[in-house]
Amino acid sequence: MPPFHAPSDLVMTILGFPVRVHWSYLGLNLAAAFMLSRAGQPLWFIVATCAILLVSVLVHELGHALAMRRFGIARIGITLNGIGGVAYSLDERSPFAPLSALQRVAICLNGPIAGLALALGGAWLLMQTTSLLAFNVCLTLVVINVTMNVANLVPIWPLDGGQVMEGVAAGILPESWRNILKVVLTTLSIMACGAVLGGAYLIRDPILGFYTLFIAQQNILRGIELVRMMQKD
């Protein structure tokens, strides 16, 4: 079953991939719209920003999905949800078994690469336009995609950067050292989340706080599972 699956999902097909838009994704857009309205932004800018968020997350996930298809995964789905989005194999039996560590790294990197390519396209349009409205839209496209995709490369699990680091480690380290690296990364990730949460509180940014809490929760649960695995060994 796809993550964040619900009967009310909006379902479409893009480039041959089934794409689901979960109702929780609307919450992400509503939160962004609320913050922009509090900042005094006009309605057209709020609508444009929500549309740019949708396109940006979709392009990022399509980057992952296209790389997965390139490496032989035939059945791939994409879900947009309250934490952004996820591309995943629809083969629940063994979704990533055929992939090498290097291929997994390439899949993780292809999402940020697609997003940064979109940012470059926006920057090119930015330099071509003479319209103030178009300038603001293109600038927003660039800022969102650079921020989102560079942040995604930070080596914190489950961000792409954290998965890239673990993929590289899987290719060069023995399994015992891989587990130690996972514990260290998980611990550092929880500490980093605590620092970011403090910053989110100081600048009164609920969206940053929400995402940081989600990442912290994922790392705490992962840390518990890693400790259990190491105790069994």
Q: Is 85 helix (H, G, I), strand (E, B) or coil?
A: strand
- Residue 24: closest CA among 90, 86, 88: 86
Q: What is the DSSP string of 88-100?
A: EES-SSSTTTT--
Tell me if the pTM is above 0.75: yes
Q: How far is CA 151 from the centre of its chain?
A: 9
Does residue 8 register a pLDDT over 90?
no
Q: Where are the domains of the chain?
A: 1-152, 154-233
Higher-pLDDT residue of 95, 124: 124
pLDDT in tens, 141-175: 999 999 989 989 988 888 898 888 888 877 777 77
Sequence length of the chain is 233
Q: What is the DSSP string of 19-63?
A: EEE-HHHHHHHHHHHHHHHHTT--HHHHHHHHHHHHHHHHHHHHH
For residue 1, the model assigns a pLDDT of 47
If pLDDT is split at 50, 70 and 90, which confidence band does 107 have? very high
Higher-pLDDT residue of 8, 94: 8
Does residue 2 register a pLDDT over 60?
no
Number of other residues whose CB lies within 10 A of the CB of residue 133: 11
> Please, what is the end-to-end C-alpha distance for the chain in angstroms?
31
pLDDT in tens, 169-193: 777 777 767 777 777 888 888 888 8
For residue 108, the model assigns a pLDDT of 93
Strand residues in the chain grouped as ranges (E)? 10-14, 17-21, 76-81, 84-89
Alpha-carbon separation of residue 53 from 19, 48, 68, 121, 206 (angstroms): 16, 9, 23, 15, 17
Does residue 203 register a pLDDT over 90?
no
Report the mean per-residue pLDDT for the chain.
83
